[in-house]
Structure 1
Amino acid sequence: MARLRRPADQGHRDGVSIMKTPIIQFGTSRFLQAHADLFISDAMRAGQDLGPVAVVQTSGSAARAGRLAAFDGRPLPILVRGMENGETVERTEYTTCLVRGLSAADSWDEVERVFVEADHALSNTGDSGFQMPEDETIDDGVPVSFPAKLTKLLAARWRAGGKPLTLFPTELVTNNGVVLAGLCDGIARRSGLPDAFIAWMATDCVWANSLVDRIVSGALEPAGAVAEPYALWAIEKQERLVIPLTHPAVRPVDDLMVTARLKLLLLNLPHSCLAERWLADARPGDETVREMIADPAVRAWLDAIIDTEILPVFAAGGITEAPAYRATVLERFQNPFLDHRLSDIAMNHAAKKATRIGALTAFAAEAAPGHEMPTLTAIRDSGLKGLS
């Protein structure tokens, strides 16, 4: 596999060649390597001019030093395995856009330099990435949380006269762009940063809301991942937002709520239905989703719930892509390489089913008043609490 051609050097610092990386990424996750980073690599191979990526480790974990060192432009294998268009597939694709790895804890000055000259920022800092100490502010040191680190970097960019930045957070937080912008605004105000900077950050920079979806089921060393064929990066359109690449998995959408509802009600809710049946029938403790829906009785039961209780609400709401998404979900459930155990899905079952069935009930009240959901109502009221 040929290496991606690197851009021309931008100079030297302490004897080290310096290149411009138009995209700076916060987070070293396997998910990003098999998701956004792979899409960027595909786009660059297709001749799209968006530039390579510098990756910043925000956590300071020494355990990821080997992974960080692998971000040097080498092809990182992404083993794609699962069901696609009704057929079993197994192929290796390559992420080639990651050309630098930096630690925020060890190389803050260089992170700041790269950030000031970047065109776009991308992040996926994990489930706790937006969490921060109460009333956190920034000072001369390296901040603790990712939102505080980002605020300090944005302030450095503003002071250097840098142009406004477009930011693409992909953390699994509803309206992640709006939420992250709000966190950074609060940090800036508590830290006494200039009003002109706060206004620039809020009105000149662009904070994209997005939703990501792909099951990344395994790790390759020192970097790379095992992933299912299905992949989605839905980005909500807004004024002044320019998405820097085109790719089959990157989908600009008018309303991210539509995509969120599809995922919640046609992927997550059927998972909860299967968990309910698994608990109620006392099925084998190590049973997987693939094995369970291979049971004709279970498959017919789940199909009936989806076709008579869930899909009619989408139809009434004018969401025409729901049947196609349903077919994709059931194909994903049959992935022969993925052992998704019901014991994992049944964790915190009571809370999850209440949230998911409650969301469908609210959608039905809006789009299909009077629509009946007898099986889902029985699941909601069953009293089965699942595992904890």
Structure 2
Amino acid sequence: MLTRKELNLPKYSEKVIQFGEGNFLRCFFDWQLDIINKNTDLNAGVAVVRPIDFDAVPLLDTQDGLYTAIIRGINESGQVVKDYTVISSINREIPIYKNFKEYLELAHNEHMRFIVSNTTEAGITFSSEDTYDDEPQATFPAKLTRLLHERFTVFNGDMTKGFILLPCELIDYNGEELKRVVLKYAELWNLGEEFTNWLINGNIWCSTLVDRIVTGYPRGEKEELEKELGYSDNFITTGEYFYLFVIQGPKDILTKELKLEGLNLNILIVDDLKPYKMRKVGILNGAHTAMVPVAYLYGIDTVREAMENDDLREFIESAIDEEIIPALDMDKKELEEFKDAVINRFKNPYVKHMLMDISLNSMAKYKSRILPQVLELNSRTGKLSKKLLFSLAALIRFYKGVRENGDAIQLRDDKHHLDMYKELWMTNNYNEIVKAVLGLENHWDTDLNKVEGMTDLVAKYLEMIDKVGVAKALKEVK
């Protein structure tokens, strides 16, 4: 069992309130904070708030707030790496449903400066059922509003006692959305104009983009890993080597207060997240979505296996180089470096990323992750994105519901899409199938048949894939 005394680890001064005790924040934010604490005088400890009424997992306090983060993957030099670190940035965990008073007392600590959260995409929500006097309120923003009002009251509206908020929920401009919902609660509860002004002007509401695959608790490997570690740890968390933390906010303030100057951390302070979101969606998510139907029909089940296949790896890399990067508005060198990191992530031997998991709702994913690049490249150059449209043809074939070896594909998408494909594939008329799919204006927000040459090209690819198979068809995509 881990203890600070045995490991000679300090307990830092509490400056961070963290909503969520899950694997992601512990392997992402708390891991980065641990590096900052060990290399600067930030001296920032975390008080974790368990925002749900859940007793099945014991409190982090049972291990003195300590746990091991195991970071594994392929580094910038192409080497397989594995790093073990005991993270000491967390001081304690407060179960809010049992210790609401202790939760509110966090607002009384004048040294508290940061609030971090990861309450899932559904966490930043509003409910008119929440009241000021609930102990606690149901939604995360309502709990937060109550805490912020406690802070405002205790320090008499002192503008210097506000927080820097760093929500990590996976929604666009999460800081702005969190502020909007908190202001809505302030209005619902009639907390006054002075408090509203303090919320807006006394706090820094940052939006963030977070990126790291966290594989979490290593159930199947725990015994083996504990032998390597030489100790027992019930809170081991595992994650990939790559990480990126993009924060939209005042660079001078955030760099100074987080002590980032001179540290080699992949934390970017920017004026606008949008280019980084487009880069991630286009290159990382887009490559995933383009890969799935092609690789799965090829007979492959995981991302790593796809990267070990020369034909598929070349297909994905050239799609990124020739059809995705040219459609994005960022520095080309920066985009190429991100692409190299993405390819290394795909090759990670420690992550078993199933293609069928990525395939969920592929119609919506193609629209949001790939179609913007297809249309942008066509607008800029007049050219068709052959590889990305080959992926669309493979996706249409994927929705036939059977692999080339005859095995059924467990399709997971909206019922109306599945019903449509079932009916279309009864015809086996490739041109009609493609025309119908590309003509889904309610889905694509346009009739893709109007893009010159697109219908014929996708139909040609679809016929090739269905008749001779993906492996042979791929060789015709140049």
Using the TM superposition, give the Cα deviation of residue 195 of structure 1 relative to its aligned residue in structure 2, in angstroms.
Answer: 1.3
Q: Can you give the 5+ residue segments of structure 1 that lack an aligned partner in the other structure?
A: 8-19
Residue aligning to 2:211: 213
Q: Contact 1:108–1:142 (CA<8 Å) still a contact in 2?
A: yes
SS of residue matched to 1:94: strand
Q: TM-score, normalised by structure 2?
A: 0.72
Q: Contact 1:122–1:167 (CA<8 Å) still a contact in 2?
A: yes
Distance 1:265 1:130, change over 3 A: same
Distance 1:317 1:335, change over 3 A: closer
Residue aligning to 1:258: 275
Task: From the two aligned structures, give the one with the greater strand fraction.
Answer: 1
> What is the letter of the counterpart of residue 86 of structure 2?
Y
Q: Can you give the 5+ residue segments of structure 2 that lack an aligned partner in the other structure?
A: 1-5, 219-232, 400-409, 413-478
Of structures 1 and 2, the one scoring higher in RCO (CA 8 A, sep 6+) is: 1
Residue aligning to 2:192: 194
Distance 1:239 1:38, change over 3 A: closer
Using the TM superposition, give the Cα deviation of residue 358 of structure 1 relative to its aligned residue in structure 2, in angstroms.
Answer: 2.9
SS of residue matched to 1:304: helix
Residue aligning to 1:327: 340
Residue aligning to 1:110: 102
Q: 1:233 pairs with 216, 229, 245, which one?
A: 245
Using the TM superposition, give the Cα deviation of residue 361 of structure 1 relative to its aligned residue in structure 2, in angstroms.
Answer: 4.3
Using the TM superposition, give the Cα deviation of residue 335 of structure 1 relative to its aligned residue in structure 2, in angstroms.
Answer: 0.6
User: 1-side partners of 2:381 and 2:131: how far apart?
Assistant: 48
> What is the letter of the counterpart of residue 204 of structure 2?
V
SS of residue matched to 2:7: coil
Matched, 1:358 2:371: yes
Residues 235-250 of structure 1 mapped to structure 2, 5 A cutoff: 235-238=247-250, 241-243=253-255, 244-246=258-260, 247=263, 248-250=265-267
Using the TM superposition, give the Cα deviation of residue 319 of structure 1 relative to its aligned residue in structure 2, in angstroms.
Answer: 4.8
Task: From the two aligned structures, give the one with the greater helix fraction.
Answer: 2
Using the TM superposition, give the Cα deviation of residue 223 of structure 1 relative to its aligned residue in structure 2, in angstroms.
Answer: 1.5
Residues 47-196 of structure 1 mapped to structure 2, 5 A cutoff: 47-64=40-57, 66-70=58-62, 72-74=64-66, 76-84=67-75, 85-117=77-109, 118-133=112-127, 136-161=130-155, 163-196=161-194
Using the TM superposition, give the Cα deviation of residue 251 of structure 1 relative to its aligned residue in structure 2, in angstroms.
Answer: 1.8
Distance 1:239 1:229, change over 3 A: closer
Q: Contact 1:123–1:171 (CA<8 Å) still a contact in 2?
A: yes
> What is the letter of the counterpart of residue 89 of structure 1?
V
The size of the alignment, in residue pairs, is: 369
Using the TM superposition, give the Cα deviation of residue 352 of structure 1 relative to its aligned residue in structure 2, in angstroms.
Answer: 0.9
> What is the letter of the counterpart of residue 310 of structure 1?
I
User: 2-side partners of 1:39 and 1:218: how far apart?
Assistant: 16
Q: Percent identity?
A: 26
Any idea what the Cα deviations from partners look like across 1:314-340, whole Å, max 9, x if unmatched? 3x6545400011000001111111111
> What is the letter of the counterpart of residue 366 of structure 2?
K
Q: Contact 2:295–2:312 (CA<8 Å) still a contact in 1?
A: no
SS of residue matched to 1:269: helix
Residue aligning to 2:355: 342
User: 2-side partners of 1:182 and 1:306: how far apart?
Assistant: 36
SS of residue matched to 2:190: coil
Q: Contact 1:4–1:97 (CA<8 Å) still a contact in 2?
A: no
Residue aligning to 2:411: 387
Residue aligning to 1:292: 306
Distance 1:129 1:81, change over 3 A: same
> What is the letter of the counterpart of residue 228 of structure 1?
E
